[in-house]
């Protein structure tokens, strides 16, 4: 008998342009995982409603995220691609799981506390229960691996807690999912100004988006922060320089990286040159994805077809889990 492939789930919110963090933290793993696992990748449109996006922008944003994923190498024939809101089974399981989630534990989640700081005028209940919805996205497909960046690690821990809690109270249903990266550690791409991680909506000049023009990319890298450090041999490398080397490792050739590492070690490095080189290598990396995504976005009929086919498959699998959850809880009257 052939062994069934393990199930993988991951999602991206349609809240802005995708950037290098999304690519290297998540999408790069999706592309590899679609070859060996049963993958479900979706656009987390319900999650994006916590910030009340303009209704007229929503569809375009969803289509753009899918186009950028496909342009990056996701194959709709291999992975199931869909919009979260096309799978209403998720909403029902979310309701059921909310009964097992405690307000106290949700209030302590760092991403919730960040949001309270960022948008004190809009601390809605959806923000508080965000980790419950995210856990359900994963659990409803019975996923075991979840490719995400480092910022989502804590949410995965909560997904395991909710799975355990449900299984303990009602009977075994959910496998416990783990955050996944092909390397050892989850990835966090820093922003170019040295202030935290790259993110979709904050500090645009410090974030490289997958739809940036060649000129924009060069300009952003030219402006990237470079502390010269103490210059004393053996002293740790300043964070901003480490960051540039990290980016180089993602897009430059081994020879290029080696030559700048040597220049750094013998203190002959010129950061202007390093940033120019990195700019060129980044342009080579981003341009084909950007151009392909632009072309795909114009073909909304094609993307809609992919979403519909994906939703059907995602719903069928989700419905099986939901049916079992209802039964275990005792919600099967007829
Ligand atoms: P989102 O939309 O913020 O980000 C999508 C993916 O990109 C990763 N990422 C990063 N990785 C490394 N460095 C960065 N600077 C960086 N910025 C973003 C994120 O870790 C993520 O993998 N809550 C999720 C969406 C979601 C989800 C899910 C994910 C909803 N349900 C179920 C997995 C499974 C989010 O807001 O991701």
Tell me: the pLDDT tens digits for 211-268?
999 999 999 999 999 987 766 777 889 999 999 999 999 999 999 999 999 999 999 9
200 is catalytic: yes
Q: Round to whole Å and give the CA distance between 202 and 212.
A: 15
To which H or E segment does residue 179 belong?
strand 178-180
Report the pLDDT value the prediction gives residue 194, as an integer from 0 to 100. 84
* All domains of the chain in start order, with CATH: 7-187+299-329 (3.40.50.620), 212-293 (1.10.240.10)
Q: Do 65 and 18 contact (CB within 8 A), yes or no?
A: yes
Report the pLDDT value the prediction gives residue 3, as an integer from 0 to 100. 79
- How many Cβ atoms are within 10 Å of 253's Cβ, its own excluded? 10
10-residue stretch averages of pLDDT, the chain, 334 residues long: 88 95 97 98 98 96 98 98 98 98 97 94 97 98 98 97 98 98 93 89 90 98 86 82 96 97 93 97 98 97 98 98 98 94
Is the shortest distance between the CB of 210 and ligand 1 below 6 Å? no
CA of 298 to the centre of ligand 1 (A): 25
Two tokens, residue 324: 């079992």
Is the shortest distance between the CB of 93 and ligand 1 below 6 Å? no
Is the shortest distance between the CB of 97 and ligand 1 below 6 Å? no
CA of 147 to the centre of ligand 1 (A): 9
Report the pLDDT value the prediction gives residue 123, as an integer from 0 to 100. 97
Set 59, 78, 150, 197: catalytic member: 197
The DSSP symbol for 236 reads P
DSSP helix/strand/coil, 13? coil
313 is catalytic: no
Closest CA to 274 of 292, 291, 252: 252
pTM: 0.96
Phi first, then psi, for residue 192 (nearest 5°) are: -75, -15
Nearest residue (by CA) to ligand 1, atom 6, is 22
Nearest residue (by CA) to ligand 1, atom 20, is 149
Burial profile 35-57: b = 16 or more Cβ within 10 angstroms, e = fewer: eebbbbbbbbbbbbbbbebeeee
User: Greatest CA separation found in the chain?
Assistant: 78
Report the pLDDT value the prediction gives residue 54, as an integer from 0 to 100. 97
């Amino acid at each position: 008998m052939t062994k069934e492939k393990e199930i993988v789930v991951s999602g991206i919110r349609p809240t802005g342009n995708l950037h290098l963090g999304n690519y290297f933290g998540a999408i790069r793993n999706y592309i590899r995982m679609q070859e060996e696992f049963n993958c479900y990748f979706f656009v987390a449109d319900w999650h994006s409603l916590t910030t009340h996006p303009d209704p007229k922008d929503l569809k375009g944003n969803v289509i753009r995220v899918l186009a950028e994923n496909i342009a990056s190498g996701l194959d709709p024939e291999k992975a199931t691609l869909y919009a979260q809101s096309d799978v209403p089974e998720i909403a029902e399981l979310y309701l059921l799981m909310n009964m097992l989630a405690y307000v106290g534990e949700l209030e302590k989640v760092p991403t919730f506390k960040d949001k309270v700081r960022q948008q004190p005028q809009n601390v809605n209940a959806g923000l508080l229960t965000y980790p419950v919805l995210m856990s359900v996205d994963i659990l409803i497909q019975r996923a075991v691996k979840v490719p995400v960046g480092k910022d989502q690690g804590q949410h995965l821990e909560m997904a395991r807690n909710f799975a355990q809690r449900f299984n303990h109270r009602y009977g075994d249903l959910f496998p416990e999912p783990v955050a996944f990266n092909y390397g050892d550690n989850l990835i966090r791409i820093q922003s170019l100004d040295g202030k935290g991680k790259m993110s979709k909506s904050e500090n645009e000049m410090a974030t490289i988006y997958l739809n940036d023009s060649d000129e924009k990319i060069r300009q952003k890298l030219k402006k990237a922060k470079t502390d010269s450090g103490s210059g004393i041999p053996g002293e740790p490398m300043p964070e901003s320089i480490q960051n540039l080397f990290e980016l180089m490792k993602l897009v430059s050739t081994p020879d290029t990286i080696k030559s700048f590492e040597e220049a750094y070690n013998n203190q002959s490095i010129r950061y202007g040159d390093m940033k120019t080189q990195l700019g060129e290598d980044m342009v080579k990396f981003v341009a084909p994805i950007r151009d392909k995504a632009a072309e795909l976005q114009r073909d909304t009929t094609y993307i809609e077809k992919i979403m519909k086919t994906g939703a059907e498959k995602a719903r069928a699998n989700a419905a099986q889990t939901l049916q079992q959850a209802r039964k275990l809880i005792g919600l099967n009257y007829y």
